[in-house]
Homo-oligomer: A and B are copies of this chain.
Amino acid sequence: MAKRTITVKGMSCGHCVAAVSEALSKIPGVSDVTVDLTFGTATFSEAAPVDAKVLKDAIEKIGFEFVG
């Protein structure tokens, strides 16, 4: 179970944090998601490395930008 931190652009409030947390939590193998609004980052545990495209799709589907 590795920890991973990604940068997400466009979050401005607690609702955004909740939306991003929920979207990431729904990805198979992803757990313990925490989002930092100040830094624009999301940290989570992954059971196995999640493809960046999967993360990007999940983030962009709800209107945010996946920076990496």
Contacts and interface: CB of A to CB of B under 8 A. Distances in A.
Interface of A: 12-16, 18-19, 63
10 contacts: A12-B12, A12-B13, A13-B13, A13-B15, A13-B16, A14-B63, A15-B15, A15-B16, A15-B18, A15-B19
Q: Closest 7 A-B residue pairs measured CB to CB?
A: A15-B15, A12-B12, A12-B13, A13-B13, A13-B16, A15-B16, A15-B19
A18 B62 CA distance: 14
Contacts of A16: 13, 15
A13 B18 CA distance: 13
A51 B50 CA distance: 51
